[in-house]
Amino acid sequence: MTSLTITHIKRPGADRLESVTTENGVIKGWNLPPEGEVLDGRGGTVAPAFIEPHAHLREPGQTQKEDLASGLAAAAAGGYGTVVSMPNTSPVVDDPATVRALIEKAEGLGLARLRPAAALTRGQEGEHLAELASLKEAGAVMFTDDGRTNENARVLRLGLEYAHSLGRVVSVHAEDASLRADGVMNEGPVSEALGLPGNPAAAEAARVARDLEIVAQTGARLHIQHLSTARALELVRAAKARGLPVTCEVCPHHLLLTDEALRSFDALYKVAPPLRTQADADALLAGLLDGTVDCLATDHAPHTRAEKERDLLEAPFGIAYIELAFPLMWTHFGERLGLTRLLDLMTAAPARVLGWPVPTLEPGAPADLVVLDLEAEREVDPRTFLSKAKFSPWAGETLRGWPTLTVVGGRVAFRG
């Protein structure tokens, strides 16, 4: 019997201070006599802990960049209770034993929950399906070849059908590799002025169009990762209007940064898909507002400082900021989105994408909770990151609305 009581918290939209008590990993009830450990929520707003549908935790094999301990601690600090980890590690997560080992190791850490995604194809090479049924049994919650693109459309089609029969969603990094070619940033006037190889918006739109035709043909569920262009979003909007079973995610960095950032020649801003134009960012925000975009994801993609200090051709793709997702969104888009919609995009929405029960604050629900101080303002100091990637595009920026407490399964995973 483990109990925990959080006092002095508000439910979203309410002014009244309440307390919640958890017992054995579930919410026992509201405003009960305190029992077990008692934590003061200091007037913060409580919500179901966030769900990250797309993060790179780099274990196994790339633990100089991140590992389960640092990545899940960073996630908890960002208010996340659950992280879906991408399988493009070394080796690739394409066998049931690795899935089990990752889950077991993560459980021992007492941080955010790990829910691994597994590769759709062996070695993520896009040619032979991985053992999806066995991977599902081992605990894989999603199948994806993220990090690679699914160039063989027939194999993707087969994977979608097989995964669909297993009740698991497939997600895709939608870029046509031949159109993307050696692009390191968005193709446009900025890339041409900088003399850097461009990745055209058409690479994403063309691949989304192809994949939507496969969805239409098969009726199988598809989730499109990190949409970055207005055009691809428009294709998804039209597909949803047709009733196709497609969902998509957008990353805060594609809302907040544009290709202009590359004028610094700083590989901090090198990410795949690339930072696009302001018009694209505006369209993505409109998609969040009108519901075309289903959920938020950070695509937390840590690398070592030395790797990101390389030149723009050599440096790897990725930005890591799972600790900043809520403050960034609340500071910049809180008014436009409103708290309810923003919380939905980070909790219920990813759960729906993954086919999970929608998290609630009701008695009996899992005691995965975040307490947010919506007024707190703090300067971003990457040296304090729990992630191993202690650098950030937003270093020195003052953000508002920080997680102060993250509880996972009734245990404290982060206390700010």
Partner 1 sequence: MTAPTTLGARPRHLLDFADWTPERLTALLDNADTMNQVLDRPVRKVPALQGLTVCTAFFENSTRTRVSFELAARRMSADVVSFAAGASSLSKGESLRDTVEVLTAYKVDAYVVRHPASGAAHLVARYSGKPVINAGDGRRAHPTQALLDAYTIRQEFGSLEGLTVAIIGDIRHSRVARSNAELLPKLGARVRLCGPATLLPADLAALPGVTLTTDPREAVRGAHAVMALRLQQERMAGGYLASLQEYADHYQVSGALLREAEAGAIVLHPGPMNRDLELSSDVADGEQSRILRQVENGQAVRMSVLYHLLVGRE
Least Cβ distance, residue 385 to partner 1 (angstroms): 20
Among 26, 32, 166, 194, binds partner 1 (CB under 8 A): 194
Residue of 14, 17, 97, 193 interacting with partner 1 (CB under 8 A): 193
Residues 6 or more apart whose CB falls under 8 angstroms from that of 79 comprise: 49, 50, 325, 326, 346, 370, 372, 403, 406, 414
Per DSSP, 271 falls in state -
**DSSP element (H, E) containing 141:** none
* 60 cis-preceded (ω within 30 degrees of 0): yes
Q: Which residues of 317-343 are buried (b: 16+ CB within 10 A; e: fewer)?
A: ebbbbbbbbbbbbbbbbbeebebebbb
* CA–CA gap between residue 136 and residue 121 (Å, rounded): 14
The residue within the footprint of partner 1, chosen from 128, 313, 360, 379 (CB under 8 A), is 313
d(CA 120, CA 258): 31
Of 117, 130, 196, 235, the residue at the interface with partner 1 (CB under 8 A) is: 196
Determine, following the binding rule CB under 8 A, whether residue 309 of this chain makes contact with partner 1: yes
H runs (alpha helix) in 124-229: 132-138, 153-165, 177-180, 189-194, 201-218
Tell me: does residue 396 bind partner 1 (CB under 8 A).
Answer: no
Site for partner 1 in 206-265 (CB under 8 A): 264-265
- Is 204 in a helix, a strand, or coil? helix
Site map (CB under 8 A) of partner 1, residues 264-283, x = contact: xx------------------
Any catalytic annotation for residue 280? Answer: no
Q: In the bound complex, what is the minimum distance in angstroms from residue 416's beta carbon to partner 1? A: 33
Residue 306 touching partner 1 (CB under 8 A): yes
189 scored as a contact of partner 1 (CB under 8 A): yes
Stretch that binds partner 1, among 58-66, 193-201, 333-341, 364-372 (CB under 8 A): 193-201
By the rule CB under 8 A, 149 interacts with partner 1: no
Minimum distance from residue 86 beta carbon to partner 1 (Å): 24
∠ CA(170), CA(54), CA(25), 5° rounding?
100
311 binds partner 1 (CB under 8 A): yes
- From the list 299, 344, 368, 373, the catalytic residue is 299
Sign of the alpha-carbon torsion through 343, 347, 351, 353 = positive
CB nearer to partner 1: pick between 228 and 406: 228
CB 408, min distance to partner 1, A? 37
In the complex, minimum distance from the CB of residue 308 to partner 1, in angstroms, rounded to a whole number: 10
| 3-state SS class at 327 | helix
Distance set, CA 368 to CA 9, 74, 105, 231, 329 (Å): 15, 16, 19, 37, 21
In the complex, minimum distance from the CB of residue 196 to partner 1, in angstroms, rounded to a whole number: 5
Annotated active-site positions, please?
A: 299
In the complex, which residues of this chain contact partner 1 (CB under 8 A)?
Answer: 187-189, 191-196, 264-265, 306, 309-314
